[in-house]
Structure 1
């Protein structure tokens, strides 16, 4: 099972060299005029592209060209977005990854789910646009090999922005009584800040708990949905926090419900969008008898989860 900090099922986009750089946006409709590799086939939005190899030395800073501009909403941090993409390295004409012809890729912009070059290059673009980006190593995978991508590679992506949803900051709805003294208590603030999460000095439940803290009025979550959530996770034993979207800048996180631990899948399916949910997950539906990135083996996990939006691919 994977750690919740790595929820997205797109290994080559999961992340995290931290750096900053400048952005050079151009509105040229011909992808080769701005110095980036030419799109040699599938040039139209929605078509699977092919790219030529880059010529000369790659740009040292992030370079972004709008191949074709859409007329939809402008992307901003916190938006849940869906894209198709193709990626290759500057010195190759063969892709290392693509979603074209497969499943579109969902993410929340600004949540740190993808490499910094994506975060910076997509912010401010419009839904319906095709964008080409050249991403230097410091905004990509740096000096580490990443699967087929060699260390210190400049990355080139063609990205079609399919849709975007503005995600609320917090659950909102009707507070539900938390009167079971044997269960954790979750704060009911709706200001977008992390709620309190207090674990009692009791024996942990042996079965999954999935209770409303705040009941929203949105549609019921389906197991095939992609969700945007804000969450905090602590260990039942000792109440130590081990993961939190609030601690990473507060932007919500997007993930397909089918791609996370069993306790999340079973606990969130059927719950209403807009709700805050307490999850208490026994080891068998969490990480079992394996230690996971600081989470001890056989740990009971406690989460507060705000279900902010849900979309079907």
Structure 2
């Protein structure tokens, strides 16, 4: 089964009103858990500079709360937004950071979107907190490494938790009549299970379709939003499913400004958070005359999308 996660521009970390963090502390700080010290930029919101690790790196996950926020506690399944800086234990140069990009990073905690050390280390922390994570190789990139990260590297991250949003299991709302027999029919279950999608044998529409299946009373999605979705995706011609977040058990977080599948973005923008939407994407707003991840060229795509939350 093909996955569409590659249709957004993502930082190295990927395989999402913030309470104010403590603004106390000096320009440098030392960790209580033997993690590298921050030599400058120690306050929440500042880009930190990390010293090189000293001595033997930790063999287990280490979490140090450098400043504790007063926001909600992050739970598994929450969509969160963070800023971060990461470097290897034996280096004093970062391999990645979001501060320079001026673009916070969005993820769903516990969904397997990021390395295990992040999923485990951020759960239970409070919004507005700055935490430092010491991540052993088995909870990072392991023996294979990643990019500039050497195999079997212990990683160190400083993470500012900016926002957290609880993600429901399913779209809910008023069922909208699906009386056009030339369009796919989508199930209206709201139990968190994958809805059925029945694609007709007629020719596909030549223009983009974006219709409510379940219409909530949530806020309308803007093209600048980051949204958390569950979806099932099909090729119209052979009616075969090529992607499903339900099958993997993981929602997908899409920053819409970075989403490169035009028809999916257009079909979501303007729809209400909490709704289920049928989106039919003609080839000129999908992949055109190029094969993509095994999807044949000139394919019309069908999506049943639950817009679960926006971050």
Q: TM-score, normalised by structure 2?
A: 0.89
1:145 Cα deviation after fit: 4.3
**Contact kept in structure 1, 2:165 and 2:310, CA below 8 Å:** no
**Contact kept in structure 2, 1:140 and 1:155, CA below 8 Å:** yes
1:30 Cα deviation after fit: 5.6
Q: Whole-Å Cα distance in 1 between the matches of residues 52 and 290 of structure 2?
A: 43
Q: Whole-Å Cα distance in 2 between the matches of residues 204 and 257 of structure 1?
A: 26
**Contact kept in structure 1, 2:29 and 2:42, CA below 8 Å:** no
Q: Whole-Å Cα distance in 2 between the matches of residues 98 and 198 of structure 1?
A: 44
Aligned residues: 296
- Greater shift, 144-153 or 103-112, is seen at 144-153
Q: Whole-Å Cα distance in 2 between the matches of residues 299 and 137 of structure 1?
A: 41
Q: Whole-Å Cα distance in 1 between the matches of residues 49 and 71 of structure 2?
A: 25
| 1:219 maps to 2:219 | yes
1:252 equivalent in structure 2: 251
1:82 Cα deviation after fit: 0.9
Q: Whole-Å Cα distance in 1 between the matches of residues 283 and 76 of structure 2?
A: 34
1:137 Cα deviation after fit: 2.3
* Correspondence list, 1:1-313, <5 A: 4-6=4-6, 9-15=9-15, 31-101=30-100, 102-249=102-249, 251-260=250-259, 261-311=261-311
Deviation digits for residues 18-69 of structure 1 (CA, Å, limit 9, x no counterpart): xxxxxxxxxxx96433111111111111111110111123222222211122
Deviation digits for residues 236-282 of structure 1 (CA, Å, limit 9, x no counterpart): 13222222221222x43222112221011111111111211001112
Deviation digits for residues 145-167 of structure 1 (CA, Å, limit 9, x no counterpart): 42222232221100011111112
Q: Whole-Å Cα distance in 2 between the matches of residues 149 and 253 of structure 1?
A: 25
SS at match of 2:143: coil
Q: List structure 1 segments (4+ residues) > 4 angstroms apart after TM superposition.
A: none
SS at match of 2:120: helix
**Contact kept in structure 2, 1:234 and 1:241, CA below 8 Å:** yes
SS at match of 1:233: strand
Give ranges in structure 1 of 5+ residues lacking alignment: 16-28
1:202 Cα deviation after fit: 2.1
1:22 equivalent in structure 2: none
SS at match of 2:121: helix
Q: Whole-Å Cα distance in 1 between the matches of residues 114 and 6 of structure 2?
A: 10
1:294 Cα deviation after fit: 3.0
**Contact kept in structure 2, 1:31 and 1:132, CA below 8 Å:** no
Q: Whole-Å Cα distance in 2 between the matches of residues 62 and 289 of structure 1?
A: 47
**Contact kept in structure 1, 2:5 and 2:252, CA below 8 Å:** no
Give ranges in structure 2 of 5+ residues lacking alignment: 16-27
Say what the alpha-carbon RMSD is for the aligned residues: 2.0
Deviation digits for residues 211-238 of structure 1 (CA, Å, limit 9, x no counterpart): 1111111121111111111111122132
